[in-house]
Each structure stands twice: as C-alpha cells, then as structure tokens.
C-alpha cells in the first residue's frame, strides 16, 4: 500500500525521499526519481513531511521513536504522519514526544486495502492538531476519496478500530453466505449480482467475495495484520469495560486460518477456516465447481 500511496504523491510533483526495510520494494519509486535514504532518520532530515506505514505497533515505535527513527531527524516545524493501524496510546506517546521537539505528529490510519491505495480512494481517519491536518488537504485528496478529522492524537486510531470491528464480523458473514450459496447449488457470481446491490451490500462483499469465488487469496491486507488490529480493538474494549462477542469470534476464526499457514494471505482467506468447520475444502471446490460440498 505504501508504494502505491507514495506513487500518487510522486506523480503529483512532490519530491520523495524514501526508505524501506526491504529496499527492492522502493525500486519503482527510485526509478521515477525518488531519493533513497539509508534510515528513517535520514528521510526526516531531508523532508518537511514524513509519512510512515508499516505493519505492527513495535514497527511504528522503531521507525518513529527508535535510535535511527524519524523523530531523531526532524527539525522544528516538521510533520510526522503515521498511517499504520496501531495502538491509540502509541499515537499519543509519539505526539507527546514530537510536541516536545516542536514537531507535529498526526495519526492517519486508512481503510480501503490495496485497491484503495492503487486507486487513490482510501478512507483516511485522522487525529492530531486540526490546523496541521487541514494544511495537508492537497495530500489527503491525492490519497483518498474520504478524509475526516476525528479529534486529538489517537482519535484516528480509535476510529480505525471502529472500522476493523465492522469489517471483522462482516467478513464472517460474507464467508458463511458464500459457503451456503455454493452448498445450495447456486452460481456464486450470479448471486453476487443480486446481493451486492441490496441491503447486504458492503465493500468486502463487492471487493473480496469475487476473489474468494476465484480462489484468489493473495494479500491486499494480510491476515496477520488483521489479527493484530483485532487484538488492539479487544485490548481497548477490555480497558473500556466492553464485551464484543462478535469481534472475539472473528479473531478466533482468523487465528485458525493463520494456523493453517495463511498468516500472509489476504483477509479473504477466512473462507478457508469457515469452510473447514464443516469439514469442507474450499480450495478443492474451485477445481470442480459442479461438485457439491455437502453430502
């Protein structure tokens, strides 16, 4: 996602200084004129606004607050924009340390997956200083169709937790519905023409269900990252004294699909775990669509 997002900025004429822990992932940007930096600190030293999007909260801590992290290279007046889905408390910690150095910190997690990143149609949920957030409107407009200021530091991350809770239970419904449709002998692509445009319609149904039907479990968003997100949401829910049984069930099912070797598959691989609960092999179904999955 980060490469696609950076590409939108590059094509709009912004000068990019880039770093990636896997250098080859930046090769296309470098071929188009981006400047390679050896550390996040070096990126910050050469930049006015520094964007980060990584995998896990410990990665965020290392990239921004580590010994060679972004904050070490920032000048007063610089802006740090972390677009990783991470812990709200970490966003607040980064904000506090950045403010002490005269640096602006914004948490801006996104929703829309690889498709949204490629198309510049992400939904961006933003926390931090409102004036600073509004000053970046030209960049938000390049990256997403929707960007909304949610409040103080950490508010963007809390909003993303709301998003992930919605998706988690929704994906269980998508997978169970497809399993039922196939067992009933329906053509699933034809079924989607009806249900995707009705009251049951959702982003997951429109974008991930077709991949499931094609047995395409390539990642737009990793299972292991979604498990991380659900864990954060459950931690925050426990802290607030909330019981979220649907979210807990979804995490249990995603842990199952991860244990089946699909931690680095896309979140639509949940279908494999849901089908296996009925003793069924969803991947085998795709080899013979005429085969009934139920006895």
For residues 80 and 166, membership in a common domain is answered with: no
For residues 128 and 210, membership in a common domain is answered with: no
For residues 163 and 268, membership in a common domain is answered with: yes
- Residue 8 is assigned to a structural domain of this protein: yes
Could you give the residue ranges of the DSSP H alpha helices within 184-269?
Answer: 188-195, 203-207, 209-213, 223-239, 245-257
Q: Which domain holds residue 18?
A: 2-152
For residues 131 and 169, membership in a common domain is answered with: no
DSSP letters for 22-87: SGGGGHHHHHTTPEE-SSHHHHHHT-SEEEE--SSHHHHIIIIISTTSHHHHPPTT-EEEE-S---
Considering 130, 152, 174, which residue would you say is the last residue of a domain? 152
Q: What pLDDT is recorded for position 235? A: 97
- The neighbouring-strand residues paired with 121 are none
For residues 141 and 112, membership in a common domain is answered with: yes
Q: What pLDDT is recorded for position 175? A: 97
For residues 144 and 83, membership in a common domain is answered with: yes
Q: What pLDDT is recorded for position 288? A: 56
For residues 134 and 228, membership in a common domain is answered with: no
Residue 274, CB-side half-sphere exposure with 13 Å CA sphere:
20
3-class secondary structure, 149: strand
Is position 24 annotated as part of the catalytic site? no
Rounded distance between C-alpha atoms, residue 53 and residue 230, angstroms:
18
Q: What pLDDT is recorded for position 295? A: 42
Q: What pLDDT is recorded for position 286? A: 62
For residues 164 and 141, membership in a common domain is answered with: no
Q: What pLDDT is recorded for position 113? A: 87
Rounded distance between C-alpha atoms, residue 2 and residue 225, angstroms:
15
- The neighbouring-strand residues paired with 111 are 123
For residues 12 and 140, membership in a common domain is answered with: yes
- Residue 164 is assigned to a structural domain of this protein: yes
| Cβ-contact 163, 270 below 8 angstroms | no
- Residue 7 is assigned to a structural domain of this protein: yes
From residue 66, give the alpha-carbon distance in Å to each of 39, 70, 118, 146, 228.
11, 8, 30, 31, 21
- Residue 292 is assigned to a structural domain of this protein: no
For residues 277 and 170, membership in a common domain is answered with: yes
> How would you write the pLDDT of the chain (295 residues) with one tens digit per residue?
999 999 999 999 999 999 999 999 999 999 999 999 999 999 999 999 999 999 999 999 999 999 999 999 999 999 999 999 999 999 999 999 999 999 999 999 999 988 999 999 999 999 999 999 999 999 999 999 999 999 999 999 999 999 999 999 999 999 999 999 999 999 999 999 999 999 999 999 999 999 999 999 999 899 999 999 999 999 999 999 999 999 999 999 999 999 999 999 999 999 999 999 999 999 887 665 544 444 4
- The neighbouring-strand residues paired with 266 are 222
- Residue 226 is assigned to a structural domain of this protein: yes
Q: Which of 24, 160, 228, 291 is catalytic?
A: 160
Largest CA distance in the chain: 68
Rounded distance between C-alpha atoms, residue 287 and residue 37, angstroms:
46
Q: What pLDDT is recorded for position 293? A: 47
Considering 152, 179, 209, which residue would you say is the last residue of a domain? 152
DSSP letters for 94-123: HHHHHHHTT-EEEE--EESHHHHHHHT-EE
3-class secondary structure, 264: coil
Q: What pLDDT is recorded for position 290? A: 46
C-alpha torsion angle, residues 130, 135, 139, 144 (rounded to 10): 30
CATH of the domain at 245: 1.10.1040.10
Rounded distance between C-alpha atoms, residue 168 and residue 5, angstroms:
24
pTM: 0.92
- Residue 295 is assigned to a structural domain of this protein: no
For residues 98 and 178, membership in a common domain is answered with: no
| Cβ-contact 42, 172 below 8 angstroms | no
What is the domain count for the chain? 2
Considering 123, 152, 181, which residue would you say is the last residue of a domain? 152
- Residue 293 is assigned to a structural domain of this protein: no
Q: What pLDDT is recorded for position 144? A: 97
CATH of the domain at 141: 3.40.50.720
For residues 169 and 275, membership in a common domain is answered with: yes
């Amino acid at each position: 996602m980060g490469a696609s997002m950076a590409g939108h900025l590059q094509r709009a004429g912004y000068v990019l200084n880039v770093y990636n822990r896997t250098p080859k992932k930046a090769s296309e940007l470098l071929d188009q004129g981006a400047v390679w930096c050896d550390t996040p600190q070096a990126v910050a030293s050469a930049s006015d606004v520094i964007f980060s999007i990584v995998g896990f909260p410990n990665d965020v801590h290392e990239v921004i607050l580590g010994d060679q992290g972004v904050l070490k290279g920032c000048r007063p007046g610089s802006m740090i924009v972390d677009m990783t889905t991470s812990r709200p408390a970490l966003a607040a910690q980064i904000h506090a340390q950045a403010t002490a150095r005269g640096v602006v910190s914004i948490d801006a997690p996104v929703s829309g997956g690889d498709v949204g990143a490629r198309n510049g149609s992400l939904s961006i949920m933003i926390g931090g200083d409102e004036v600073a957030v509004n000053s970046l409107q030209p960049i938000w407009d390049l990256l997403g169709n929707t960007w909304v200021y949610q409040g103080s530091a950490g508010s963007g991350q809390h909003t993303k937790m709301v998003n992930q809770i919605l998706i988690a239970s929704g994906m269980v419904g998508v997978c169970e519905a497809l399993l039922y449709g196939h067992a009933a002998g329906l053509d699933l692509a034809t079924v989607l023409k009806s249900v995707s445009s009705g009251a049951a319609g959702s982003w997951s149904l429109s974008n991930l269900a077709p991949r499931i039907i094609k047995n395409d479990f390539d990642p737009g968003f990793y299972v292991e990252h979604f498990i991380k997100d659900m864990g954060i949401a459950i931690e925050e829910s426990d802290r607030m004294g909330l019981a979220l049984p649907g979210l807990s069930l979804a995490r249990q099912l995603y842990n199952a699909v991860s244990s089946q070797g699909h931690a680095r598959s896309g979140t639509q691989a949940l279908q494999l775990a849901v089908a296996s609960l009925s003793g069924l092999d969803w991947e085998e179904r795709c080899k013979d669509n005429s085969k009934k999955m139920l006895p």
